[in-house]
Structure 1
Amino acid sequence: MLSSFWSALGASVSAALVTLVGIYTIRHFEDWGRKYSIYFVCFAAGVLISVSFLHIIPKAFEMNTNAPVYLLGGFALLHLFNRFITAFVCERGVNPNFGIGLVPMIGIGFHSFIDGFVYSITFSVSMFTGVLATAGMVLHEFPEGIITYLLLLRSGFSERKSFLLAFFAASITTPLGMLVSYPFISQTNTSLLGALLALSAGALVYVGATHLLPQADKEPREYTLHALGAGILVSVLIVLSK
């Protein structure tokens, strides 16, 4: 149990650091960040979707007979949350600080906080499951940091304030979510853990299929399909090597 705690904490801290690297990159190397962040998006989408279908979902089904219901629930809940954020942004559109910067920042912050829960859940199931989930999740933190910073900057905040707000919202919230959730998740039985794992899988599929891939479709560049395929291939090889 102690090893799963430190593994989950290490993964969440790694995610926070990758987010920080994304924020730092777009602030100091804006051209490079804008040019190559889409490849991280595509690779992360390939990993998240593949590991969900190849390992996390079958593992959840094995642990809980009602896992399909929770899988659908995880997907639907994240969709509804994103719809709520979108509607709230539109309602506040007259105020650029809310419509462009602060509200998306809150949404991303909550999403990153829930990411911390996913680390607690997957590493509580097994080290292998945790590592697979981490492989895709950590990579998608890089463009997320970039997006958060750019939205805040666009809404009128200074570079320094945008950097600090993006850091606290998109980076620090992940290990915080892990630390808050782990004491409760680590004490759950196998059936409940399977339900939580299915919820997490639904959320991961949602992020990969409806959040990351559409970004790639909006910005078709050479080799984006290669990056997506590389993410899928890496996932397949990891699962087969178990």
Structure 2
Amino acid sequence: MENQTEAITYSKANDRIEIVHYRNWTKTYAPHTHTSHLTLGYVEEGRIRLVLNGAELLCGKGDTFRIPPDVLHEIGPADGESYSMMVLCVRTEPEPSDPNLQQLRRAILEQPENLYLIREMAKDAHISPYYMIRRFRKAFGLTPHQFQIQCRVRKAQKLLEEEKSISRVTYDAGFADQSHLDRCFQKVVGLTPAQYRDAIRAGDQQSAGKNLANR
């Protein structure tokens, strides 16, 4: 595949469906989960390496893949070359599990910016800290702390979509400072907050252009 400029755009059909388009992408995403989202992907060019719950899957041009909600996975180029793919993220309802863990998960999801210590989480879940971490990771793919950081990044994404300033996003999403936001954001999203904001704007412009063309 020819070496072209990397590009990524985000488009939202509604609050439940989002489309992400990666073009000539080379980034690798560290292990993470998609909370309450089913992810469906289609590889347009190149090859990707998908590790799903420890199992490796190689996908080439024309291949599709499926990532269930709350399942630990990582993704990146299979051979060091760039890839292009389209990803559809569909919001789903979580499957029933331990009610105490679900309550803990919900508390983190709703207010990830709050300081929530492991001992407080364990107390709220009515189990020991060690056992709580084990059970939470088994149920949701991440430790409670990893999950909270990921949720803070997701909140930062939503705030950036609302055109909030990066300094305001840093504070509202619960990060210590902007460098902390940048590190965590790049690890999860693969972009800086500023690059993500630009990608959102590019996606909005594309959607607006399509709407005008269909009138």
TM-score tier (shorter): under 0.3
TM-score by length of 2: 0.26
TM-score by length of 1: 0.24
Of Structure 1 and Structure 2, which has the larger fraction of its residues in strand?
2
Greater relative CO (CA pairs within 8 A, separation 6+) = 1
Of Structure 1 and Structure 2, which has the larger fraction of its residues in helix?
1
